Amino acid sequence: MPDAQTSFTETIPANIARSPERARSVGAVFVFRIEGEGGGTWTVDLKNEPGVYEGEREDAECIIECSSETWKKLSDSPASAMQLFFQGELKVTGNAMLATRLQAVIA
């Protein structure tokens, strides 16, 4: 179970680099706000120039917030996102339907 720092500095950038066209097909800009140890705020651009950027950009279409523990659960099992959302562990604002496309780059 990678922590958020590892996910956003290694795993997700590697997934995007491995298949930039697949990443671009998601067609959205996301902000992730991960609270707690190993957390931080990152923008994942899967629309313009696919990549992961530290900090928050104003052009985000979907904002995802959770604790670092919830992030570990999510990165270990991306299919659990809906369950975590309905349990109140994962908060999504903006266009929540876009979040359903993220599985292609998170895992």
Global pTM value: 0.93
Looking at residue 93, its amino acid is T
> What's the CA gap between 3 and 68, in Å, rounded?
7
% of the chain beyond a pLDDT of 90: 75
- Tell me if residue 31 falls in helix, strand or coil: strand
Q: What is the pLDDT of residue 52?
A: 97
Q: Please identify which residue in the block is written with the tokens 């929540």.
A: 96
Binned at pLDDT 50, 70 and 90, residue 2 comes out as confident
Q: What is the pLDDT of residue 15?
A: 93
Q: Regarding predicted confidence, which is higher, 65 or 102?
A: 65
The mean per-residue pLDDT over the stretch 15-20 comes to 93
- Whether the pLDDT of residue 88 is over 70: the answer is yes
The CATH code of domain 4-106 reads: 3.30.1050.10
Q: What is the pLDDT of residue 1?
A: 61
Domain limits, the chain: 4-106
- Partners of residue 85 on adjacent β-strands: none
Render pLDDT for 24-73 as a digit per residue (tens, 0 to 9): 999 999 999 999 999 999 999 999 889 999 999 999 999 999 999 999 99
